[in-house]
Structure 1
Amino acid sequence: MTILNLSNIKKHFQDGKNRVNQVLRGIDLQVDKGDFVAVKGASGSGKTTLLSILGTLQQPDEGSYWLDGNDVTGADVDKFKIRNEKIGFVFQNHRLLPQYSALENILLPILAFQSEATKEQVDYARELMQITHIDHVANQYPHTLSGGESSRVAVCRALIMKPAVLLADEPTGQLDMENAQNVISLLAEINQTLNTTIIMVTHADEMAREAKRIVTLKNGILQ
């Protein structure tokens, strides 16, 4: 079952007064439910722009983007709702809020639409923490967590809404080799255990190898 489909996605930026920088030149990408895709590319190849479009943070200039059976590029689409309900984000720097515990950080996407989490939602958050082996830090605050633990909290937070797709932007970029490998192995485990669809942007060959499929972004085209 196809969960995500990009067709002829193009994106350019004004680079100076009279110069246009064509970043994406016609991206085609089809991802099935449960797939784990690594997008490789050199710095400046357009990986971040592609991920921003996948996350509905940027609008393509041309082309279509369908996610979980819905066209998400239309002007009338509630992109905030799409991002919160259909897309999970894992960033390099985790972006945990220091005033909240690990468990509370995981529940934050729920609180965008509710005044408080239900018992079922809290139970699911604790289940995710067990799956990612961090249930022992539920009541700790971010400043007390290791880099690896912070990464796992961020992954749990990205999964709490049971998204259609999980987007990971260089998730190991600020970690040492051991913790980096642990996070990539964790993503692979989540992909297998929860059948979560994952698209990961990375420049590292050793990290991309954990994915089921590798595509390369070069000169604005996926190869």
Structure 2
Amino acid sequence: MSILKLSNIHKSYADGNNRLNAVLKGLNLEVEEGDFISVKGPSGSGKTTLLSILGTLLPPDEGQYLLNGEDLTSTNADLYKIRNKLIGFVFQDHRLLPQYSALENILLPVLAYQSSVPQSFIDYAHYLMEMTQIEHVANQLPESLSGGESSRVAVCRALIMKPSVLLADEPTGQLDMENAQNIVSLLSEVNKVLNTTVIMVTHSDDMAKAAKRIVTLKNGILQ
């Protein structure tokens, strides 16, 4: 069953000389529930723009975006709620808040709609940390974590709301080869064990191979 569908997506940016630079040019993408897709493409091809549209951080100029059958390009769509509950994000730079422990960072999305964290979410956070083998750093601050541990905390935070789709933007870009392979293996495990749909942007051929399907962004469309 299709979980998301992009139809005829266009996106352009002003180049500073009163001209528009077209980045996405009628892009189409359909993703099945439980799929794991790698998006490849050269620098400047629009991979991050595509991921930003998928994450509802950036609206397309034209086209339609359906997620779980809901049209997210509609003016009636509650994008803040959708981002919090249906879409998980893993960024290249982790974006952990330094004043909070690893466990607290993982639980932050829960506080978007409530003033306290229910025990069920705390239990799920511990389950995710056990699954990702970072239970031992639960009470540590980000400054004391290794790059690989920080990446795993970021993955757990992205999963805490049990999202339909996990978006990963160059999640291995700042890691050495061993930790990079570990994170991609973790995303594969998340995809398999939790049946979470994963879309990963990467420039690495080796990392892309972990996905079930590889697509390439070239000349504004996916090939």
Amino acid at match of 2:132: T
* 1:79-132 superposed Cα distances (whole Å, 9 cap, x missing partner): 111110110000001000011110000000000111111011100010000111
Q: Equivalent residue for 1:106?
A: 106
TM-score, normalisation: structure 1 = 0.99
Aligned residue identity for 1:163: P
Matches within 5 A, 1:9-158: 9-158=9-158
Query: Is it true that 1:216 corresponds to 2:213 in the alignment?
Result: no
Deviation of 1:77 after TM superposition, in Å, equals 1.6
Kindly state the Cα deviation for residue 13 of structure 1 after the two structures are TM-superposed. 1.0
1:207 aligned partner: 207
Report the identity percentage. 71
Provide the rounded CA distance (Å) in 1 between the counterparts of 2:8 and 2:69: 18
Moved over 4 A (4+): none
Alpha-carbon separation, structure 1, partners of 2:72 and 2:164:
13
Give the number of equivalent residue pairs. 223
State the partner residue of 1:180: 180
Deviations 1:53-78 (A, max 9, x none): 00001110111000112111112222
In the alignment, the residues of structure 2 paired with residue 109 and residue 68 of structure 1 have an alpha-carbon distance, to the nearest angstrom, of: 21
In 2, the alpha carbon distance for the partners of 1:206 and 1:43 equals: 17
Q: 1:11-70 deviations in whole A, cap 9, x for unaligned?
A: 111112332101000111110110000000000000011001000011101110001121
| 3-state secondary structure, aligned to 2:105 | helix
Unaligned runs of 5+ in 2: none
Question: Secondary structure of the equivalent of 1:210?
Answer: coil
CA distance in 2: counterparts of 1:32 and 1:221, whole angstroms: 19
- Offset at residue 136 of structure 1 (A): 1.0
Letter in 2 for 1:128: L
Question: Unpaired runs of 5+ in structure 1?
Answer: none
Q: Deviations over 1:155-174 (max 9, x none)?
A: 00000000010000000000
Partner of 1:6: 6
Partners in 1 of 2:160 and 2:47 — Cα distance? 25
3-state secondary structure, aligned to 1:63? strand
Distance 1:116 1:26 in 2: 43
Return the TM-score normalized by structure 2. 0.99
